[in-house]
Structure 1
Amino acid sequence: MARIRVGIIGLGNAVEPHAKSLLDLSDRVEVAIVASRSEDRLKAFAQRFAFPMTTDIEGVLASRDIDAVWILTPPNSHLELVKQAAKGRKHVLLEKPLDISLDRAGAIVAGMKGSGLTLGVTLQHRFRPASLRLRTLLAEGALGVIGAASCSVPWWRPQAYYDQPGRCTMARDGGGVLITQAIHTLDLFRSLVGDMTVTAATAATTPVHRMETEDFAAALVRLGNGAPGVIQATTAAYPGGEERIEVMGTAGTAWLAGGNLRVAFIDGREEVVVRQEGPTGGGANVMDFPHDWHRSLITDFLDAIKEGRDPVVSGEEALKSQELIAAILEKAGWRAAG
């Protein structure tokens, strides 16, 4: 079977786990070209990965020799790049979030759906083995009726992180902790317990950071079955801890901490899934986590192209998670990206 020919666009922090995963999947995919407008970034990347490189992003998007593109550029560039990719008849794997606003994000989803091409979004926490196990338990009804649920992201970023040009500004990234960091956990949380309604929220820039957007947000939510829920996220919690999801049901409680799962059943049984003992990117080293989850997400994306189906993290799924973030910020009275 012919390998899918891929072009990578953008060489920011996100590229390394993608590049490692694509090398692992070299029996299925060929990295035909890597593109960045920055020659310095291309030179630095070439010291770690031996892929063909170019500064001609438009040429990559128009090339008939490339089947799919990985768009790993800042969020405010996504809509235009996806439009060009669709015009060039390319499937797209897009780095989160979809774009900086719901209008732009919705345009991406609608445009790709209308083109008949595959759109996937990099929200890789869904593919952690412990996350998959909890999803199975919930689907089987092993926890009974959900009585309450919560998620917490106690992460840390130093001021130097926010001092980088454009970092967590409305114009480039569309927001702060919710859309840039916590989106991974919020997406996983929503995919596990279902869509929810935000009933109250607060957001703030704490004295810990000098930045344009929020580094703390919290919300009270109502799950689809009427059960209460709590969401909290920050990048002001030094030195950064594991993100955590708790689901409390009539038959037991599940704790998902980072990549580890513990389930205690009311009948006395217990299940522990320890699959990730190292860091999860919650501290100053933002990419300090394994690339296994990216590899699994990419495998699903490649399967989706082959099978003519939506990937697990489709554009529609990513849009729902971005809508949750927008609802929290709106309820908190925080300004939205235009």
Structure 2
Amino acid sequence: MTRKIGVAIIGLGPASLPHSHSLIDLAERVDVRWAVSRSAERAEAYRKQFPFAVTTDLEAVLADPTVEAAIVLTPPSSHLDVSARCFENGKHVLVEKPLELTVARGETLVEAARRAGKVFGVVLQHRLRPASLRLKAALAAGELGTVEAAFLSVPWWRPQAYYDEPGRGTLARDGGGVLLTQAIHSLDLFRSLVGVSRVVAAQARTTKLHRMESEDFASALLELGNGAPGTLMTTTAAYPGHPERIEIIGTQGFATLIGGTLSLSFLDGRKEVVEAEGSTGSGANIMDFPHDAHRAVIADFLEAVSTGRDPVVTGNEALASQRLVDDILAAARR
């Protein structure tokens, strides 16, 4: 049996739910030593739901030698500070998306991980869905031929009540709007599949459906990694919320990835479908999705810690996707 790795969960907001369920599933591989929140009320609510030791004393957790790794689920504005303290205390870190508020802070975080010599992963779980892995393998093997064009659409919905929560949709807490907070999962997957070499033109705005500081709509014309054209549209104003969609036109076939379901249609008449169950969190209930992909991310991270290899989504990979968000917003301002 693989040695169990001692882990602490830091941050017990909504994001802790799929991670906690995943850690229960992975009980043979992980020993959850602590779950930490600075809020006593939130810690008590969590204690009633999950079988892990709960505390509000982060310092004690960081000093605990049985904690080898931390899963950081605090707001984006605190990722650098909390993760850096984990590195200073000899912990490996898996941090929730987005990497940080800004590219500059993200670069500082990635450098801190490099200096510490610790495994550093980012929770961009769409890459580890079975359909995503199959599509990536098909592209790598040339099954679709040469990519001639690709499209990304994220027509999600968030009610105003979501943005009325303190800090939601602000630059100070979230670092941005739909691109960085909601669509980052699909944008990161899209970039990992077909590459993006340039943002040709873009638009970004806040629609009349929301009162918020950052954008709830963004679109862009892109140049893919091989020079082919691409387009992108993301929003949280598409009621009641619809699954994200990636489409890829190849010289030998066409791929459609809707949520976690993949359809491949080849010019020689062959077809293939990889089915997925469950929603994608595209509507008002932000946690309306299965935790399978989160479990895969954590399992990959644990394997990386055990073997010393990089996780699937490294800090540098997350940083590249955050730079793309910045490039889209910069093009929109122009």
**What TM-score do you get using the length of structure 1 for normalisation?**
0.97
Secondary structure (helix, strand or coil) at the match of 2:333 reads coil
CA distance in 1: counterparts of 2:197 and 2:233, whole angstroms: 15
| Structure 1 counterpart of 2:317 | 317
CA distance in 2: counterparts of 1:306 and 1:161, whole angstroms: 39
Q: Structure 1: which 5+ runs fail to align?
A: none
CA distance in 2: counterparts of 1:59 and 1:121, whole angstroms: 24
Secondary structure (helix, strand or coil) at the match of 2:174 reads coil
| Structure 1 counterpart of 2:172 | 171
Contact 1:190 1:196 in 2 (8 A): no
Q: What are the residue-to-residue correspondences of 1:90-129 with 2, within 5 Å? A: 90-129=91-130
Deviation per CA, 1:4-41, whole angstroms, max 9, x where unpaired?
Answer: 11111101111000001011111110110011011111
Contact 1:143 1:252 in 2 (8 A): yes
CA distance in 1: counterparts of 2:223 and 2:141, whole angstroms: 22
Q: How far did 1:149 drift? A: 0.3
CA distance in 1: counterparts of 2:69 and 2:123, whole angstroms: 14
CA distance in 2: counterparts of 1:19 and 1:221, whole angstroms: 37
CA distance in 1: counterparts of 2:82 and 2:160, whole angstroms: 30
| Structure 1 counterpart of 2:326 | 326
Q: What are the residue-to-residue correspondences of 1:41-190 with 2, within 5 Å? A: 41-190=42-191
CA distance in 1: counterparts of 2:10 and 2:199, whole angstroms: 35
Deviation per CA, 1:76-110, whole angstroms, max 9, x where unpaired?
Answer: 00111111011000000000011100000001011
- Structure 1's consecutive aligned runs of 4 or more residues displaced over 4 angstroms after TM superposition are none
Contact 2:33 2:67 in 1 (8 A): yes
Contact 2:153 2:233 in 1 (8 A): yes
| Structure 2 counterpart of 1:304 | 304
Deviation per CA, 1:290-318, whole angstroms, max 9, x where unpaired?
Answer: 00000111111111111111100111111
Deviation per CA, 1:174-202, whole angstroms, max 9, x where unpaired?
Answer: 00000000000000001111233111001
| Structure 1 counterpart of 2:14 | 13
Deviation per CA, 1:216-274, whole angstroms, max 9, x where unpaired?
Answer: 00011001211000011000000000100001010011000001011111111111111
Secondary structure (helix, strand or coil) at the match of 1:309 reads coil
Secondary structure (helix, strand or coil) at the match of 1:156 reads coil
Q: Which amino acid is 2:317 matched to?
A: E
Contact 1:62 1:84 in 2 (8 A): no
- Tell me if 1:260 matches 2:261: yes
Contact 1:118 1:304 in 2 (8 A): yes
CA distance in 2: counterparts of 1:223 and 1:248, whole angstroms: 12
Q: Which amino acid is 1:311 matched to?
A: P
Q: Which amino acid is 2:298 matched to?
A: I
| Structure 2 counterpart of 1:37 | 38
CA distance in 2: counterparts of 1:243 and 1:46, whole angstroms: 34
Q: Which amino acid is 2:194 matched to?
A: V
Q: How far did 1:162 drift? A: 0.2
Contact 1:201 1:329 in 2 (8 A): yes
Q: How far did 1:65 drift? A: 2.2
Q: Which amino acid is 2:331 matched to?
A: K
CA distance in 1: counterparts of 2:38 and 2:328, whole angstroms: 35
Paired-residue identity, %: 58
Contact 1:62 1:85 in 2 (8 A): no
CA distance in 2: counterparts of 1:80 and 1:59, whole angstroms: 16
Q: CA RMSD of the aligned region, Å?
A: 1.0
CA distance in 1: counterparts of 2:166 and 2:268, whole angstroms: 54
**What TM-score do you get using the length of structure 2 for normalisation?**
0.98
CA distance in 1: counterparts of 2:47 and 2:198, whole angstroms: 46
Secondary structure (helix, strand or coil) at the match of 1:332 reads helix
